[in-house]
Amino acid sequence: MANLIATRSSLQNQSIINFFKGSSLNVIDYPFIEIEPIFSTPEIKKIIDDMHLFKKIIFISSNAAQCFKIISEHHSIKFSDNVQVFAIGPTTKKELSFLNKNIFSPIDQFDSKTLLELPEIQNVTDESILIVRGVGGKELLKNELEKKQANIAYLECYQRIFKLIDFNIIANCSQKETLYILITSSQIAQHFIDQLGLFENPDQIHFDHIHFIVNHENIAKELSVFECDIKITPTLDPEKLQSLCIN
């Protein structure tokens, strides 16, 4: 039986665990990161009070969508009548179904650069745009939209907490059977590399038995320091993982 280490937050891992229960793929719930929602700060309250002013709202991750849902349960939110809502990809779009709004999203590649190519993002001069993200995210979206003379604000509704990685678990799983490791962000990939540098017995890890599954070529580049197979898939739904790990 092959093993899949699911490294996202416990909440995100749950759908994968449920899907593969009783199958020939053993999913190990082992988050390298946890997401801590932030739903009540003076900054968030001000953004919520001004929500009706934003013409566009961009959610850059499924975590952003999930944590915004928590905020909506604690605050009364009034959107602009013609607000346009954007999601970075299909998973984020699915998480936003509670808004009951049409969601714009890239079709093939799911990143900020592709989102910026959407027709609805081109003419944004003097528009107020809200980006929903975690604390300390990348500045690409903001910088590029400001070049188009849009007015950008952030709603930072969660923080990432990176966890210590016990590489003895990975070493044990890699010794006899095929091991898949799901890595879904460049930050998690770099955290994995940094933590491995602290492991006293790296020779115990059989990288020839390890297959990384990632959702972007930038993550694959981070992990290319290892001599092992890297599978890239833009979508991370359980059916796609099944085709990569079992079929």
Tell me the per-residue pLDDT of 94-105, one tens digit each, with 9 for 90 and over: 999 999 999 999
Instruction: Please indicate whether residue 176 or residue 90 has the higher confidence score (pLDDT).
Output: 90
The phi, psi pair for 102, rounded to 5°, reads -70, 130
pLDDT for residue 221 = 94
Domain limits, the chain:
2-32+163-245, 36-160
Identity (one letter) of the amino acid at 243?
A: S
Pairing of strands 151-156, 158-162: unpaired
The average pLDDT across 182-210 equals 93
Task: Let me know: does 231 contact 212? Beta carbons within 8 Å.
Answer: yes
Does CATH number 2.60.40.420 belong to domain 2-32+163-245?
no
d(CA 34, CA 170): 19
Tell me if 2-32+163-245 shares its fold with 36-160: yes
Give the tens place of pLDDT for each residue, 208-234: 999 999 988 999 999 999 989 999 988
C-alpha to C-alpha distance for 13 and 236, rounded to whole angstroms: 11
* Number of other CB atoms surrounding residue 140 within 10 Å: 14
Q: 23-38 pLDDT, tens per residue?
A: 889 999 999 999 999 9
pTM: 0.82
pLDDT confidence tier of residue 235, bands split at 50, 70 and 90:
confident
Give pLDDT, residue 76: 87
Higher pLDDT, 42 or 138: 42
Architecture of domain 36-160: 3-Layer(aba) Sandwich (3.40)
What percentage of residues in the chain have a pLDDT greater than 70? 100
Please check whether residue 150 is in contact with residue 190, taking contact to mean a CB–CB distance below 8 angstroms: no
| pLDDT mean across residues, the chain | 92
pLDDT of residue 247: 63
Residue among 39, 33, 27 at smallest CA distance from 10: 33
Residue 21 has pLDDT above 80, yes or no: yes
Band (120; pLDDT cuts 50, 70, 90): very high
Provide the H-helix boundaries in the chain.
10-20, 42-49, 62-74, 90-95, 112-115, 140-147, 167-176, 186-196, 217-223, 238-245
The model's pLDDT over 46-94, given as tens digits with 9 standing for 90+, comes to 999 999 999 999 999 989 999 999 999 888 899 998 999 999 988 899 9
Does the structure show a pLDDT above 80 at 1?
A: no
Cβ-based neighbour number of residue 14 at 10 Å: 13
